[in-house]
Amino acid sequence: MYSSRIVYTGSYVPERIVTNDELSKIVDTNDEWISSRTGIKKRHVSEGENASDLATKTANAIIERGNINPLDIELIIVATVSSDYSTPSTACVVQANIGAKNAVAFDITAACSGFVYALSVADKFIKTGVYKNVMVIGTEVLSKLTDWTDRTTCVLFGDGSAGAFVERSESGGIIAEDIGSDGKKGMSLTVNHILASNVFNGMEKEAPSCINMDGKAVFQFATRQVPKSINKIIEETKISIDDIKYVVPHQANYRIIEVISRKTGIPMDKFYINIENYANTSSATIPIALDEMVQAGMLERGDKILITGFGGGLTWGSMLIEW
């Protein structure tokens, strides 16, 4: 069986930065509350670019870095909850924009676990020999789905995009994974509920709703489920914590990461954290972190890293990767 290895990464975030102080001018909040409860200091917010625009810039960054011929790309998977359209998929828009006309393209929806889920799907296509390469992108413009009058959610999210080019390899790459879903808890985080109104049933057409979250329920879920998921991978692979160079967690809340560290016994200094600069960009947090780490020269071939995501669905997903 083949292995799937991340060979290039790329990212793109909108230029406009909104600080906590700026947010405190539009809702009743303050830098102290946001920083101490979440670790967030600022976020990037779109000035009009949509999810596919961000994803296209990410794809082009990857293409440039890897000197990839777009015609050689075999599959494009985009993870997003904020796509421009229900159809065409964001992946199809990206395919057209980058001229990857030989690729198959589709989106998947697994919210903040989206990048891990997409990587898992890419891995299956590669391991079974169907494709030799896959472009995997997480992209979100959450600012268009945010209720900017709700201080309990609007301070938490940001816009951004990042991705990875995954290739067939003889060894290393994705070593183990644990992905899961708990649909019974799904209503604790919903986005864009669209009612089944039509001309025959007399239901009023309502505007789709914004991000709606029971923060405490999601916090509890994450701090229970993610340590279990990481521990499962550690037990299955028998890897020692010393041999894990970094954990790259979904960046939703600094305090969630502290609990994960405590419950898994993995020291905090192994966790890569950049939530202060981006807030929660859902499917984009993990690949943005990976791209930053690559650009900073923090990852060498052979390093073992753990990535772990959690969020809407509710869903979770962890992977042990040999870089």
CB of 150 to ligand UT7, least distance (A): 9
C-alpha Rg value of the chain to the nearest Å: 19
Q: Which stretch binds ligand UT7 (CB under 6 A): 47-55, 73-81, 167-175, 210-218?
A: 210-218
CB of 248 to ligand UT7, least distance (A): 15
Encoded one letter per residue, x for contact with ligand UT7 by CB under 6 A and - for no contact, window 270-309 reads ----------x-----------------------------
Tokens 């292995």, residue? 3
Question: Does residue 317 contact residue 309 with C-beta atoms inside 8 Å?
Answer: yes
- Report the residue from 90, 253, 261, 315 that binds ligand UT7 according to the rule CB under 6 A: 253
Return the residues of window 139-178 that contact ligand UT7 according to CB under 6 A.
Answer: 151-152, 155
Contact status: 222 vs ligand UT7 (CB under 6 A):
yes
CB of 179 to ligand UT7, least distance (A): 15
Catalytic one among 50, 250, 253, 277? Answer: 250
Q: Tell me the number of residues near ligand UT7 by CB under 6 A.
A: 19
Nearest to 247 by CA among 207, 298, 296: 298
321 by DSSP, 3-state: which? strand
User: Rounded to an integer, what distance in angstroms lies between the CA atom of residue 134 and that of residue 126?
Assistant: 8
Catalytic one among 112, 210, 253, 277? Answer: 112
Token readout for 25 is 């001018």
- Report the residue from 2, 33, 96, 224 that binds ligand UT7 according to the rule CB under 6 A: 33
Catalytic one among 50, 133, 253, 280? Answer: 280
Residue 280: active-site member: yes
- Alpha-helical segments (H) within the chain: 20-23, 31-38, 51-66, 90-98, 114-127, 151-154, 215-237, 254-264, 275-278, 285-295
CB of 149 to ligand UT7, least distance (A): 12
DSSP 280: B
Closer residue to ligand UT7 in complex, CB, 28/300: 28
User: Rounded to an integer, what distance in angstroms lies between the CA atom of residue 256 and that of residue 260?
Assistant: 6
Tell me the β-bridge partners of 176.
320
Residue 250: active-site member: yes
Tokens 């080019």, residue? 165
Residues in contact with ligand UT7 by the rule CB under 6 A: 29, 33-34, 37-38, 112, 151-152, 155, 189, 215-216, 218-219, 222, 252-253, 280, 311
